[in-house]
Structure 1
């Protein structure tokens, strides 16, 4: 969907030497070069390392360096997915919400695209994020929001992929959210 919607994607990996790299099934390497902002290893629990902030540009560009020039064409809104909802996802969302300072679009965490080694952590983390200025939604809801209109030039391609992934989406919702209240 990132390719269809022309969404830029940045990937971070928490200490990949010890914890492993991003799984190829996500297809990050298949994104067109102008949409793939790279894969960055980190030890910081938040993804907002100086290197990542520079790659994002916009409101994030000078996060770690007040003298840096802000690129107005940089990323304005972030959609967060990932592993360990109560650690890296939570701290990334809190940093994004804090950077927003009540101005501009709120960060979005996709409830069906976060996980935890302890599944009980997910609902608590999503609740904490929601109460701290982060929007919590499902991936399909946000994708349709981004598509905006059935008259979009790539709507047929978008709709076809939604239909092809219907069973996967349903299974993921059940597995990731299930009966856990969010």
Structure 2
């Protein structure tokens, strides 16, 4: 079972026009919003990646506004976030080996980040309803590729209840409000 104090949430490239043209963009934004707000409820560290933001644009306003409450973006040039030195440094400084991964595009940047995380000894949980690609086939193949290499599949609601462990308390009530 995952424990919030042993995890880090990584949000990958929810930027500019691409974030608006991926499949089910509005639903994706909602799931990411829920995921980030919940991570903040758990005091979970969040690493936030942006692919060449000066060319592709900034993270969508809805997601950036809540991410700014607890973190700042890490710009990257490679498709994999692992290749950004600042990402590696911040991740290693956290001392955790469990990564919760979400964002776009599933079959490119999320996949390559996941592969590098797995190859470097990180247990990686992919939140399949908080990631997307321009086509459903690309999303599904990205999920399958990550799973073939050892990524564990979850979804926002399952993840949040796994992290919560029990159906009581103020945080539980706040999670219920986020999910509904």
Determine if the TM-score, normalized by the shorter chain, exceeds 0.5. yes
Could you say which structure has the higher helix fraction? 2
Instruction: Kindly provide the CA deviation profile for residues 115-138 of structure 1, in whole angstroms up to 9, marking residues without a partner as x.
Output: 112331011110111111001111
Change (3 A) 1:130 1:152: farther
> Aligned partners of 1:127 and 1:141: how far apart in 2?
19
CA distance in structure 1 between the aligned counterparts of 2:132 and 2:177, rounded to whole angstroms: 27
2:79 corresponds to 1:45: yes
Q: Distance in 2 between matches of 1:81 and 1:120?
A: 17
Displacement over 3 Å in runs of 4+: none
State how far apart, in whole Å, the 1-side matches of 2:165 and 2:80 are: 30
SS at match of 1:133: coil
Q: Does 1:24 align with 2:53?
A: no
Superposed counterparts of 1:18-167, under 5 Å: 18-26=55-63, 27-31=66-70, 36=71, 38-48=72-82, 49-57=84-92, 71=93, 74-100=95-121, 106-163=123-180
**Of 154-163 and 6-15, the range deviating more from structure 2:** 154-163
Matched, 1:3 2:47: no
1:80-134 CA deviation, whole Å, 9 max, x = no partner? 111111110000111111111xxxx620111111111233101111011111100
Report the TM-score, using the length of structure 1 for normalisation: 0.71
Unaligned runs of at least 5 residues, structure 2: 1-37
Looking at structure 2, the residues matched to 118 and 161 of structure 1 have their Cα atoms a distance apart, in angstroms, of 28
In structure 2, the residue matched to 1:13 is 50
How much has 1:18 moved relative to structure 2?
A: 1.2
Partner residue of 1:177?
Answer: none
Q: Which has the larger radius of gyration?
A: 1
Distance 2:57 2:148 in 1: 32
| Larger proportion of strand | 2
Aligned length: 140
